[in-house]
Amino acid sequence: MKTNITFLLLLLFVAVVSCQKSDNSPQGSGQPPDKSAIAPPVVHQSFQVISVSDAQNNLTAWFNTKPESVVVNAFLINSDELDAMISLRQNVAGAVKFRIYMGTNQFSVWPVNRAGGDISDLIYGVSSVGSGPCPLVCDYSSPIFNNPKYLEAAKAE
């Protein structure tokens, strides 16, 4: 009886494996992937896909409305900082925003509540390598700076 069950499980396994769809992707073939197989961008309630033109308009609005004393136009976030934010969102009650405080070798990533207050229950120190504020770490070759007025305004900061 035990042999019959083992044999049936083996047959079931072989049937499942043989029925699986084969992957005919061109990986390793030197051919580009089929673009129709690439998943469309994820649509989310709190963010959306925008065009370069929309991003440029957002930047222009920022330049036109920010106080003179503010010099940060963007912030480059490394994957460790992103992981810290995700962990804080999952592990700190009320964490809906994040604030990154500057440091020389390490930034402090704080959870922030809906009202904008820092939550000090759990704070992460994260390496600042590969991240920081723009204009210090701007990518002036980015399409957002294609218009000379954006580039001049950003570099003037």
Report pLDDT for 130: 85
Ordered mean pLDDT values, 10 residues apiece, the chain (157 residues): 45 41 47 55 61 80 79 88 93 95 87 95 89 85 75 62
Put simply, whether the predicted model's pTM sits higher than 0.95 gets the answer no
d(CA 86, CA 102): 19
Report pLDDT for 14: 41
Report pLDDT for 33: 53
d(CA 79, CA 37): 26
Report pLDDT for 53: 82
Q: Both tokens of residue 125?
A: 């120190």
